[in-house]
Structure 1
Amino acid sequence: MDKEYLREVVKDQKLKISNLPLGYPRNKLSKLDSLLNHKINIVITGPRRAGKSTFLLQWMHKVYKDDFYYFDFSDDRVAGLRTEDLQTLYELFLELYGEKKAFFFDEIQGKYDWNKFVNRLYSEGYRFFITGSNAELLSKEISTYLTGRHYDITILPFSFKEFLGFNKINLDTVGTKNKTKIKSQLEVYLNNGGFPEVVTFGNKDILDNVYKDVINKDVILRYGIKEEEIFKKLSVFLISNFAKYFSYNSLAKTFGLGSVNTVSSYVSYLADAYIIFELPKYDYSFKKQDNSAKKIYCVDNGLINKIAFAFSENKGRLYENTVFVDLLSRGYGNNENLYYYKTKSNKEVDFVLFEGLKPKSLIQVCYDLTKAETKERELNALLEASEELKCNNLFIITGDYEETEEVGKKEIKYVPLWKWLLE
């Protein structure tokens, strides 16, 4: 690539981030603070437009001030950038800005043999901060080539706590007036979701563009999918069936794809782009666990309400999806520590949280407990699972019911969703 052309791109990008609003400080900034004195590379992943770049810029400006180089590899002007151009890029940084301490490479995954370049400069004392929107590609590239220690952070759309903070709702004291505001804001959050631009401007039409970019650029184009229309229908189907069971076999039949492997690949592409997530069933037998149906969840309720087939509102499923995504933001789901569970009598528990090899908590999600039979169903499933899994930390997340009840020797905590999300 022509050096002078690249020089103009570098200068344009520098100007762009210099004028970029740093936005609302994300909760995970404290994780980066704890790594300040460790010479490790930082890798930030997550869906498109969830705020990865802004999150990292918040911290870079706080810690490095202006003492870092920045380059956005998703810029269409550098689509033809080659591996050998990375050295030219480094030379331009030195010519334009002199010696700096760190590199911030935005959306670098899957494009170049960038890893050797990073390794070389890392060994010379530079620190690297990298973002990417594809979990599988970035993970493979890092594990295969990126030597030295690195720390991964996943940035999802705003949590409810961040959503309230952005909207200047005081969480220090939750009095009657404040509680009313919080519960009112929960309804907005359940409907609009937490993508930063949607929260900022209140326009859910932004989600159409987010979704189209992910499907067309991050999946169809990147993986060379030929059956585009079938893939798009499958994607909408999965989002529409959030918090429900699915199997690769049933999807293959529904969409006439023939090969279960094709369906499995399509689902994994969507998961790697952070649009959907699969939740496996927990079983003591790995074979049974692997063969069991999975449940599907979506990264954002706003995306569900915008993209999914029109469905009669099921607040219970939206509650369940919200709990799942919040568990992800708390660090569950990445290290075989989050499952659903079916008891021996086929009663379901929505979430089993593990700490190491032991179940830590069992969580049911039920919006409406006013009917006695509903409460009994949820409670019996929890108690039965508690006996089978030897776990006594039991929760039922509700619409508004709050209580601690003792059943036999077990204590059940009923917690309203809004309150649980603020823990």
Structure 2
Amino acid sequence: MQIALESQNPWWFSRGFETGVERLSQFPEIVRYLDAREILLLAGARRTGKSTLVYQIIRFLLKRGVPKEAILSINLDEPLFISMADDPALLGGIVEDYLARHAGLERLYLCIDEVQNYTHWASAVKTFHDTKSNVKCILTGSVSSLLRHELSTRLSGRYFSCTIYPLSFPEYLRFQGMTNPTLVEKRQQFAAYLHYGGFPRVALEPDADLKRQILKSYYETIYLKDIIFPNRLRNNSDLVDLLYYLISNAGNALSYHRIAGALHIATETVREYIEYAENAYLLYTLMKYDSSVKKQLANPKKIYAIDTGLINAVAFTFSENRGKLLENLVFITLKKQYDAIYYHKDRYECDFLVKSGRTIALAIQVTQSLGDPGTRKREIRGLCEAMDAYGLAEGIIITEAESEDVVIGGRAIHVVPVYTWLDGRSNVQE
């Protein structure tokens, strides 16, 4: 075990370690939480860069003057630790032994990667937090159902969390070495970003075929390790069919009953499997807005995926579905920033509503282009209906490359290219 720990903690021996492309500056809350007493949890889908962010945190701490022996990292995805996942004394024994050998430490930064792999993680972390005031726990996890239950029961009031998503477009540009790109460069880079998505490893891979292979591997790993295994599913074919169906219909309004009928599986199974996919951060559901919460829950949901690259690798033909990919990207971008997002549907439809407090504060429509007169009429009509319904004076239509301002009946509609919107989104005051 000591050999495994030494290999995971190269800074103990003043060895270099890989920290990847700098992202920590994009998460000021993480730096702020480092000095707090509470546990810090970095949650999100696999391969979104959580482990790399932990290494960037460690580099930040070392540069700040934290002694190298005051940082202990344990990666529970290591085969040795996976084989000991049911040992209730595993983490406690490691930490107690380490503190005994470093008795003079004022503070120990304990970094535990993929914490959900250890059966007794919550009780161990709670013990560290409650009995060892000099231990600061920094955790990563990728199955929210396994994390949420323990956090809400055993660790309630003891932690801060931060969700890590694939790269935003500004982050993606930095990964391509572009700090001040021209408009032409933004357009070129955005096409690749939309096609292959924002997983960090994929963004750095120059070979297009390898990008697709990596994305397919990520997808298989997520549904195997974070859906099938933790939920002990036996009928894997139903899950695979459902996930393919949902990803192929990203952005479409679907009822559980309709999905069940299309796939010839039970409605309750559909509901459960979608919940499992959400818990693995693979898929997200969007509800139709209604003042009645009961009606919101009963209405058809829209399904979106964590990453447009995964959609392309698993289900889509890119050129035929650019509009839906744009919509998916806008959803994920809004999801990062706002807690309450819905879609509008009455006579017409509006893709996204953002709720602030008790009121709808922003309406957004997404389309590849307004060049077709029929599309232009439909998109403006749906947005105007939403603006009227919620008393909004302004609305946004996000396109792939078009820009204009339209005034209709005193309502201002801002048509903006997606890469411009991603660079500087209009903020809603929470």
In structure 2, C-alpha distance between the alignment counterparts of 1:403 and 1:261, rounded to whole Å? 46
On the 8 A contact 1:7/1:92 being kept in 2, the answer is no
CA 1:376/1:383 → structure 2, altered by over 3 Å: closer, same or farther? same
Cross-structure match for 1:187: 191
What are the Cα deviations for residues 321-375 of structure 1, in whole angstroms up to 9, with x where unaligned?
A: 1111111222x2xx4x1011113x2x11100011111111100001111122321
Alpha-carbon RMSD across the aligned residues, in angstroms, is 2.0
What does 1:206-245 align with in structure 2 at a 5 Å threshold?
206-245=214-253
Q: Verify the 8 A CA contact 2:18 2:55 in the aligned structure 1.
A: no
> How much does 1:288 deviate?
1.6
Please identify, of 358-367 and 281-290, the stretch whose mean Cα deviation from structure 2 is larger: 281-290
AA aligned opposite 2:275: S
> How far apart in 2 are the matches of 1:211 and 1:147?
31
Q: Deviations over 1:6-29 (max 9, x none)?
A: 222222222399654211222532
Give the TM-score of the pair, scaled to structure 1: 0.91
Q: Following superposition of structure 1 onto structure 2, how do residues 329-340 of structure 1 map, counting pairs within 5 Å? A: 329-330=336-337, 332=338, 335=339, 337-340=340-343
User: Match of 1:160, as an amino acid?
Assistant: F
Partner of residue 301, structure 2 = 294
1:280 equivalent among 276, 287, 299: 287
Change (3 A) 1:309 1:233: farther
| 1:3 aligned residue | none
SS at match of 1:222: coil
Q: Which residue among 57, 60, 70 is the counterpart of 1:59?
A: 57
The one-letter code sitting in structure 2 at the alignment partner of 1:163 is: Y
Q: Deviations over 1:253-300 (max 9, x none)?
A: 222223x22111111111111111111111112222111110111111
For 2:383 and 2:299, locate their aligned partners in 1 and report how far apart those are by CA, in whole Å.
20
Letter in 1 for 2:240: K
Distance 1:379 1:154 in 2: 34
Taking a change above 3 Å as real, the CA distance of residues 149 and 91 of structure 1, as seen in their structure-2 partners, is: closer
CA offsets, 1:74-93, max 9 Å, x none?
21212223112222111342
What secondary structure does 1:302 align onto?
A: helix
1:160-179 correspondence to structure 2 within 5 Å:
160-171=169-180, 178-179=182-183
The one-letter amino acid paired with 2:96 is E
Instruction: Spell out the pairing of 1:9-408 with structure 2 (5 A cutoff).
Output: 9-15=4-10, 19-26=16-23, 28-64=26-62, 65=66, 66=68, 67-79=70-82, 80-81=84-85, 82-94=87-99, 99=105, 100-109=107-116, 111-123=118-130, 124-125=132-133, 126-171=135-180, 178-202=182-206, 203-204=210-211, 205-258=213-266, 260-308=267-315, 310=317, 313-330=320-337, 332=338, 335=339, 337-343=340-346, 345=347, 347-408=348-409
**Percent identical residues:** 31
Q: Aligned partner of 1:156: which letter? A: Y
Residue range with higher mean Cα deviation, 30-39 or 365-374: 30-39
Measure the CA separation in 1 of the matches of 2:420 and 2:272.
38
Cα distance in 1, alignment partners of residues 17 and 391 from structure 2: 51
Counterpart residue identity of residue 80, structure 2? R
CA distance in 2, matches of 1:49, 1:36: 23
Q: Is the Cα contact below 8 Å between 2:405 and 2:413 reproduced in 1?
A: yes
Query: For residues 25 and 394 of structure 1, do their structure 2 counterparts lie closer, same or farther at Cα, with a shift above 3 Å needed?
Result: same
One-letter amino acid of the structure 1 residue matched with residue 304 of structure 2: Y
Q: Which amino acid aligns with 2:259?
A: L
Q: How many Å separate the matches in 1 of 2:96 and 2:386?
A: 61
Larger mean CA deviation between 55-64 and 179-188 belongs to: 55-64
Q: Residue 410 of structure 2 corresponds to which residue in structure 1?
A: 409
CA contact (8 A) 2:116 2:147 kept: yes
Q: Which residue of 1 aligns with 2:3?
A: 8
- The answer (yes or no) to whether the contact 1:159–1:329 under 8 Å persists in 2 is no
Unaligned runs of 5+ in 2: 425-430
Question: How far apart, in 2, do the equivalents of 1:135 and 1:294 lie?
Answer: 20
Per the TM alignment, residue 96 of structure 1 is displaced from its structure 2 partner at its CA by 6.0
Please identify, of 118-127 and 296-305, the stretch whose mean Cα deviation from structure 2 is larger: 118-127
Distance 1:36 1:180, change over 3 A: same
Q: Report the count of equivalent residues.
A: 406
8 Å Cα contact 2:195/2:318 also seen in 1: no
SS in 2 for 1:35: helix
Structure 2 counterpart of 1:340, which letter?
Y
Match of 2:315, as an amino acid? Answer: A
Q: CA deviation at 1:392?
A: 2.6
